[in-house]
Structure 1
């Protein structure tokens, strides 16, 4: 899968909420309701009083689209209800509303992996997309992001924006020590070792390896970088004990001497905080968190941060990165006219809304973000143009990650050998796949 435009896991059952929390972006928004009201909303207004309940967590990447929807599309007959909520709350409410006979929400903000997880509970959008493609200029939406909202040949979500695995670094430290942004993991290790040896930063590398969530994503990035995933495309077998699986986990373990000893308790906000306070000089996060690094209110180093494309695990490989897509979905159990809901969603991702979302978000509408309005544009584009994929669209992915991540953590921390950890993950993973029946 290739991606030539700038664009950028996932809501599963309540049991995987810890994994999903790792995927959330930063908080806050630069697009208020008053500003969004000026965008305009060319939809067919309902003739009778209609209330649309919207479930979307608050973040600088999502708020511009939510605010545009609510502030610009409301009328005497169309009202919106959207209560402020954090990502953890959204995860819980999504599971509840989609699993009920009658849902509480009519529009639900979702992620790449929510699609296969809840496809049978979401409204397919293909017919609406075709009907309104010209009116709302939906042909301008990034194709890879549309693929990230598609499962089994059907479109279930209208993409708003996406996140791409991106690296940030302290330009001042790199310049002083004569270090270039690494292009491979060997170079990444060498850079971290040189910074550590200089005494400038004790643990220069920061990665979100939270044992209850993020660790699964970071392990899978190593697979993507080697051109594979959890299932080998040729043998159709799980890859935990394959050479690619071994290399993916071994590299994370090999980097731990340059990371805080408590790294398996770190999610993305903690990684971000390390960069804020200067206790890390290189950090990996989703691109949606990069804006916070450039804000003077957050760190005295705000002028010293630079960005680079995720390095490859080995020379010539794909970047150690993924594209996590966000988008609007319509629950099947909503009682509101679905045609109206689609129009509202389409209006919320207008060109004006997309411009308001930059640089906090990488909007689904192409041609909006560029190097002049997004400092990490080139870093993100490097990953996308090199073929960074969206997460695997399989129903079993969330369960697989939930039930195997403890073994990955054991391997990284040295409680068991890398080989033993992967053998345990392979055995449990095979049971997960068999139970799914797909």
Structure 2
């Protein structure tokens, strides 16, 4: 269950009990800096760097699936509780938290420590991505993009070239689908995973999500074609794909249970990890067919309600995001520092980097609205109805568009309301 922001505000008195009951949070030292984050390999690395930046016991980290982290953060911070000090936010959740006034502005600290931590090494596009309403609110930690993973040994054996279009992808998935191995992964667990997958189809086949006035267009003819294609593609996905997110799809690829599909850059290194993967050296990558897959700049922000030393926390984040730290972490995530992105040795050391650079050029970020995750709750629910056959595609998208427009009208997006 994901709670809506407007309902969490009535839970202020119940927040500690609810959070403890829902997440079974361990007790931590009263003066410890509490960091919460989504769990994935790159974030495990960077949160450990935060732990190492301060003396032992000063930092505690809790990693969990993204939907649980955002639910916990929303409940806690809407109550203005100081129970969270630092939190991971992706590009879309960041805008919502900043718009709600829940994050500490970092401008003064950024200026003070700009030279010491070489913060000018972040390109302006990245600074813009972690800024809202003219203020910096987050330390950029990784640039992430979705890649197309595929079994190069199997495709070569079948005489199939890596797909460049969605039609070629469909044909390859159909041909490679067997009783033993799915033709493609598909991650349709609500909300984040399903929204990522739908975003690709909506941009590569459809016309995107909104027009220039934030009116939904995802239910137009092109949008219906996009979700119809997704429905057809699901025939070649593993069982249970509607409950699969990044972890499940990564395992399906690692264990040889699926041939290809869309997955994050941050999961590429895991394909060649002999302790986890049965397909070491057999996976390759290209930019997602048709383009339009998600690109994100993610980071860690400081809660405005934290009672911990904010300067100390900023320095902890800057240390974790240092040039040395990011060079080491480049195998797990694309570092948003110019000096590292321009390092030609990366392409030789990490063989998925050329595909990642191409994916960045063809990718598309989520719409720049603070409420897009709330829109995602609506849209993914109806997309799943369409994909699973519970409703006709056009009817499901029309219903999603109507509910989306009602939500955005209620939140003041339209001048004529």
CA distance in 1, matches of 2:351, 2:6: 36
Q: Quote the offset at 1:281 in angstroms.
A: 0.8
CA distance in 2, matches of 1:420, 1:58: 36
Q: Quote the offset at 1:270 in angstroms.
A: 2.0
CA distance in 2, matches of 1:150, 1:225: 28
* 2:110 matched residue in structure 1: 129
Q: Quote the offset at 1:349 in angstroms.
A: 0.7
CA contact (8 A) 1:238 1:430 kept: yes
Structure of greater relative contact order (alpha carbons < 8 Å, 6+ residues apart): 1
CA distance in 1, matches of 2:60, 2:377: 30
CA distance in 2, matches of 1:389, 1:195: 28
Residues 213, 140 of structure 1: alpha-carbon distance in 2 compared, 3 angstrom cutoff: closer
Please state if 1:221 is matched with 2:200: yes
Q: Quote the offset at 1:92 in angstroms.
A: 4.0
Residues 170, 114 of structure 1: alpha-carbon distance in 2 compared, 3 angstrom cutoff: same
- Farther off after superposition, 245-254 or 208-217: 208-217
3-state SS of 2:63 partner: coil
CA distance in 2, matches of 1:255, 1:350: 42
Of 183, 196, 202, the match for 1:204: 183
* 1:397 matched residue in structure 2: 372
Please state if 1:302 is matched with 2:280: yes
What 5-or-longer segments of structure 2 have no aligned partner?
A: 9-29
CA distance in 1, matches of 2:40, 2:292: 25
CA distance in 1, matches of 2:40, 2:4: 20
CA contact (8 A) 1:148 1:390 kept: no
Please state if 1:377 is matched with 2:353: yes
* 1:4 matched residue in structure 2: none
Please state if 1:250 is matched with 2:250: no
Q: Number of residues paired by the alignment?
A: 384
* 2:257 matched residue in structure 1: 279
CA distance in 2, matches of 1:113, 1:278: 32
Residues 365, 358 of structure 1: alpha-carbon distance in 2 compared, 3 angstrom cutoff: same
CA contact (8 A) 2:286 2:359 kept: no
| Larger helix share, 1 or 2 | 2
- After superposition, residues 261-340 of structure 1 pair within 5 angstroms as 261-312=239-290, 319-340=291-312
Q: Quote the offset at 1:117 in angstroms.
A: 1.5
Please state if 1:181 is matched with 2:157: no
Q: Quote the offset at 1:271 in angstroms.
A: 1.6
CA contact (8 A) 2:206 2:218 kept: no
CA distance in 2, matches of 1:98, 1:360: 30
Of 379, 382, 393, the match for 1:407: 382
Residues 71, 256 of structure 1: alpha-carbon distance in 2 compared, 3 angstrom cutoff: closer
CA distance in 2, matches of 1:200, 1:171: 20
3-state SS of 2:349 partner: coil
What 5-or-longer segments of structure 1 have no aligned partner?
A: 1-9, 17-48, 313-318
* 1:41 matched residue in structure 2: none
3-state SS of 1:368 partner: helix
Q: Quote the offset at 1:255 in angstroms.
A: 1.4
3-state SS of 1:55 partner: strand
Residues 431, 190 of structure 1: alpha-carbon distance in 2 compared, 3 angstrom cutoff: same
3-state SS of 1:206 partner: coil
CA contact (8 A) 2:199 2:293 kept: no
TM-score normalised by length of structure 2 = 0.83
3-state SS of 2:155 partner: helix
CA distance in 1, matches of 2:117, 2:3: 27
3-state SS of 1:399 partner: helix
Q: Quote the offset at 1:57 in angstroms.
A: 4.7
Deviations 1:248-290 (A, max 9, x none): 2122123123223532232222222222232211121111112
Q: Quote the offset at 1:163 in angstroms.
A: 2.2
TM-score normalised by length of structure 1 = 0.79
CA contact (8 A) 1:11 1:113 kept: no
